[in-house]
Structures are given as C-alpha cells and as structure tokens.
Structure 1
C-alpha cells in the first residue's frame, strides 16, 4: 500500500520516503519501494520499509538491452538485475524499521545473506570475512533498532566502496553513525541483497523496480 503525499514524499506502510535524494552530485529518484515481512503463526508482520534511489540515466546508459520489455518480463530476469547491480551509477537504498529489531539480529541477517552470495561465486576470502565482520559489529553496537530507525546504504558510481549510515533514537535524541565498507565484493553483494531480482530480500521492492524501470524503458 503506497500513495503520493504532498508531491514530495511517497508513503510506504505509513513511512514517508522523499521522492529524491542527493548522494554525491546529482539527485537520485525513488524508482523502487517495498517491504520486508514475515509470517508467524498466520500473522503477517512487516519488518522494514525500503526505498531504492537510482539515477534515471541508468536506463538510457546501461539497460537499453531490455527496451520494450514489460514488467512481467523483467521481474524474474536475473540478467536484468545483474546489469542493474553492476551498472556504474549512484545507488542509495533507504531502509526504515517498522518492527523493532535487535541491531545484532539485523547485522547477522545481512552478514549471512552477503556471505552466502560471496561463497556461491567463490569470492569469500579473509578480506571479505574481515570486512563483513566490521559491518556486523557496526550494527551490533546499536542494542535495538527501534521503529523509524533509518539505515541508508550509499553506493557511489565512482567508487568500489559503500557507506552505511544508521540513524536511531536514543533517550529521545537522534543519533547518527556511519561506516565505510571498503571491500568491493562485500559492497556489491550488500547491494545485491536488495536488488537481486527474485532472490532479493524484498520481492515487493523488486516488483516495484521492474514496474518503474519498464515504464522508463518504454519511452
């Protein structure tokens, strides 16, 4: 469920996402949104809301091979999402907590998903293990990620690194901390966790991306 609000934001599960963010030099557009969720004893629990920001030029520069394809042809197309992940373009992924979670729990989920992806392509060595451990520790240092905590993953086009920004409320104050992920393989697989087509962490986000990118590819 989502709707435009005040023309400046899009509401995703009652979480406002700005329609544009600036990562490095130019504004990026909100081209995908969705949720992560889980079913427990027939209860449908939404965990996080997600917004994916891309430079719309990614379509004309890196995705023309899929011009004219519809949403249904793109949504389960591994090659399309691999091209999106690999494209040298700025990407920002904003994740807003809906259901409170332990920082350590979020860190372990991310670590496990990234490690499995790296191992599958034989890229999980000591350097990757070390970099991933730092990411896990970064999240573990926040005891709880309360509702409305914001996790931003920034992937600059010109760098092989990524930056994680975590904003939480502690004793009524907003606390922000950042870390750089210098390992290129780990950075790419973190991006892939969210943009890995049917294998990504949020299928609703993938469907939304396929819908919006198909529309841009039809122009």
Structure 2
C-alpha cells in the first residue's frame, strides 16, 4: 500500500491523505477514535482512518449532504449505502493504548455483528467470517502502541484482507 506525503493527525497518529490499495488511489474520507470509559477514566484505544474513492460521496451518499453527525451515524440507511457502494475500501486502525489481541477481536466482532444485524445483513456467511477474524486476533498476545491493522475490502471481491 503506498501513501502520499501529506497526512492528517488523529490523536497524534498520522494518517496519509491518500493510499493505493488495489486499482486506484483512495482518499481519507473519515476518521475517528474508539474509546472506553472505565470508572470515569476515558481511555482512547485506537485511531481509525477510512479510505474510499471520493466519487462515492457524489454518487452514493448525496442524500446525507448537509446533515449533522447524529443524523448520519444513527441512520442505518447511511451505513447500507456506504457498504453497498461499488468501491474499494481501506480501513486503517492504529493502536493508541496497548490491548490484548483477543479483547480487540471480541470488540471488533461485536461491533461488526451488531451493525450488520441492524441492516439485516448478518447471516451464516458473515458469522463464519467474523469467527475467522476473531480467531486471527486470538493469536496476537498484545497489540502494542502504534501497531497498524489494515482492512482492505476490494469492490470486486466478496472477502476482505487483513494486514
């Protein structure tokens, strides 16, 4: 995966503005952090960058233009339009706070399963894929600070690649 020199800082983690994963350059169109609150302590776990073909915004997400964050992210229709858009997707996850691989895998499985179930896309095939993903992270004792995990979803494939 190649990247441009320009970056955006997300919680002190640099994300390149563009990456090339498969056939064409993808742009950083979304970013954020995952966190957890334990006994009033706010702990940031990972920084995340989502890369897509910028044409997705103009061709598949126009109905959400100008809407607020809550309207977009609390709307299953937005998620459905995003995951069904015919584009390559790369999600880069950078560890901020060291975490056990097994904990990360279970959290990831739960979040993905819940989101897919909400849009009625969670069936036997998805369950098997999530089990494999969870097993992949079981083999990692700890994901150390600054570890990079890349999920690549080619538009022309029915599977993802994890690096």
Category of TM-score, reference length = shorter chain: 0.7 to 0.9
Change (3 A) 1:130 1:2: closer
1:3 maps to: 3
Q: Does 1:25 align with 2:28?
A: no
Unaligned residue ranges in structure 1 (runs of 5+): 163-218
Count the aligned residue pairs.
161
- Find the aligned partners of 1:122 and 1:61 in 2 and give their Cα distance: 23
What RMSD in Å do the two structures reach over aligned CA positions? Answer: 4.7
Alignment of 1:58-77 (within 5 A): 58-67=56-65, 69=67, 73-77=71-75
Change (3 A) 1:66 1:46: closer
- Find the aligned partners of 2:38 and 2:79 in 1 and give their Cα distance: 30
Change (3 A) 1:137 1:53: same
Change (3 A) 1:48 1:55: same
After TM superposition, give the deviation of residue 28 of structure 1 in Å. Answer: 0.6
Alpha-carbon displacement from aligned partner over 1:44-75 (angstroms, at most 9, x marks no partner) = 11110011111001122222344555666534
Q: Contact 1:2 / 1:11 at 8 angstroms: preserved in 2?
A: no
Change (3 A) 1:42 1:58: same
- Find the aligned partners of 2:3 and 2:129 in 1 and give their Cα distance: 38
Change (3 A) 1:67 1:14: closer
- Find the aligned partners of 2:50 and 2:80 in 1 and give their Cα distance: 15
Q: Does 1:56 align with 2:46?
A: no
Pick the structure with greater CA Rg: 1
After TM superposition, give the deviation of residue 80 of structure 1 in Å. Answer: 2.5
Q: Contact 2:44 / 2:97 at 8 angstroms: preserved in 1?
A: yes
- Find the aligned partners of 2:85 and 2:3 in 1 and give their Cα distance: 29
Calculate the TM-score normalised by the size of structure 2: 0.83
SS at match of 1:92: strand
After TM superposition, give the deviation of residue 16 of structure 1 in Å. Answer: 0.7
After TM superposition, give the deviation of residue 120 of structure 1 in Å. Answer: 5.3
Alpha-carbon displacement from aligned partner over 1:167-186 (angstroms, at most 9, x marks no partner) = xxxxxxxxxxxxxxxxxxxx
After TM superposition, give the deviation of residue 114 of structure 1 in Å. Answer: 3.1
Q: Which structure features the higher share of helix residues?
A: 1
Alpha-carbon displacement from aligned partner over 1:81-140 (angstroms, at most 9, x marks no partner) = 321121111111101000100001111112223334455566655544333221111111
Change (3 A) 1:2 1:28: closer
After TM superposition, give the deviation of residue 31 of structure 1 in Å. Answer: 1.1
